[in-house]
Structure 1
Amino acid sequence: MSLTTTPAQERQERWQELCRDPSLQDLPYKIETNERGQIVLSPPKAAHSDLQGRILDAFREARPEGRGLPEFPITTSGGVRVPDVVWMSEGRLEEITETGDPPTRAPDLCVEIMSESNDWSEMDEKRALYLEAGAEEVWVVDKDGAVRFFGKQELEASELVSGFPERV
């Protein structure tokens, strides 16, 4: 009898392989994989990091009972994707980590920050992947800090983090 793995397990195994690769340990890039397990690198920029910090600060103020984290890997049907910021309710982290490393279940909320190398086609794809993995909302923040909120469709405001500003 042969053992078989699921596509999600294969993506998790590929991610663990990359995490162990010493040549990738000190790269100054955000690393993700695509649906074929190929590495996708994104160089960080100071303005991008500043927006991540502003979003995390706003989470702490608006929903102190939850947890905001930067760059959280998620195993999706399109590879391992790493939203710039995530927010999760109490108990969700434990539920998520039970699905493996990196998890196959997304946090409640995933945030992507647009950069010069992104376009809306890529953001639409990532949004669909995060929602498919269980995110309730996905936000896209443009380089000027304007926030667009999405559930299954675009929202006027976040339903998870009420009062979150439309600009960070």
Structure 2
Amino acid sequence: MSRTASKLSLQEFLDLSESNDQFELVDGELIPKMAPTSPHSRTQKRLLRLIDDWCEQTAQGEVNPEWTVALKRNGVDWAPVPDLTYISSNRIPADWDGEGPCPGIPELVVEIISPGQTFGGMTEKSTDYLLAGVDRLWVVDLKAKSVSVFRAGHLPQTIWSNGSISDPLLPQLVLPVSRLFARRGE
């Protein structure tokens, strides 16, 4: 889909009949998302399972894949569609009907670097997320077998496949990074 005549508003983007998870809204324009590869999808699925199991056990929040997030970037509507989005229960309005984009600014988004994307590009996107109020970003690098954690007011931290992610945002959840990159059946 291409719209060059006019810029889309956030509401126009959200009202599109097409699947929003195939595009992101950046500076009023539809930007196609990268098509994931099998390793990307497998890593996304593993992370989703691990975080969703924690959400189910603790009832502290909700995590979803490819969930549109309505934010501002440089003062302009921005609607990224992260690979995973986590929002705590206390940020979900009591009257939210479960439909539409993420109902508030999430605490955590996860972006997995796809072919054609770069770590530098993801670092720039991470800065945009942080400036928009997202507390944490996990950038998963399939080639380097690492997860870089970006937090407001902190230097990024890279956790390699021999380490684990432990974050006060998700108490008692410990994610061995090697599990994200294991081959099928390992």
Decide: shared fold, TM above 0.5: yes
* Map of 1:146 onto structure 2: 146
* Map of 2:35 onto structure 1: 44
Q: Which aligned pairs between 1:89-104 and structure 2 lie closer than 5 A?
A: 89-94=88-93
| Structure 1 position 55, deviation (Å) | 0.8
Higher normalized helix content (fraction of residues)? 1
* Map of 1:16 onto structure 2: 11
Q: In 2 relative to 1, CA 62–19 (structure 1 residues): closer, same or farther, beyond 3 Å?
A: closer
* TM-score, normalised with respect to structure 1: 0.72
What secondary structure does 1:54 align onto? helix
| Structure 1 position 139, deviation (Å) | 0.2
* Map of 1:5 onto structure 2: none
What secondary structure does 1:164 align onto? strand
Structure possessing the higher relative contact order (Cα contacts under 8 Å, 6 or more residues apart): 1
Residues in 2 aligned to 1:31 and 1:124: alpha-carbon distance in whole angstroms: 20
Paired amino acid for 1:159: P
* Map of 1:33 onto structure 2: 25
* Map of 2:168 onto structure 1: 159
* Map of 2:48 onto structure 1: 56
Q: Is the 8 A contact 1:139 1:150 kept in 2?
A: yes
| Structure 1 position 106, deviation (Å) | 2.3
Paired amino acid for 2:125: K
* Map of 1:116 onto structure 2: 115
| Structure 1 position 103, deviation (Å) | 6.2
| Structure 1 position 93, deviation (Å) | 2.4
Once the two structures are aligned, what percentage of the paired residues are identical?
A: 26
Residues in 2 aligned to 1:26 and 1:105: alpha-carbon distance in whole angstroms: 20
Q: Which aligned pairs between 1:68-83 and structure 2 lie closer than 5 A?
A: 68-74=63-69, 75-77=71-73, 79-83=78-82
| Structure 1 position 60, deviation (Å) | 2.5
Unmatched runs of 5 consecutive residues or more in structure 1: 1-10
Which contiguous aligned blocks of 4+ residues in structure 1 show a shift greater than 6 angstroms? none
| Structure 1 position 73, deviation (Å) | 1.9
Deviates more, 1:74-83 or 1:154-163: 154-163
Residues in 2 aligned to 1:104 and 1:132: alpha-carbon distance in whole angstroms: 18
Unmatched runs of 5 consecutive residues or more in structure 2: 1-6, 160-164, 181-186
* Map of 1:67 onto structure 2: 62
Residues in 2 aligned to 1:108 and 1:149: alpha-carbon distance in whole angstroms: 13
Q: What CA deviation, in whole Å up to 9, does each residue of 1:20-44 have, x standing for no partner?
A: 445xx269x7201222x11110242
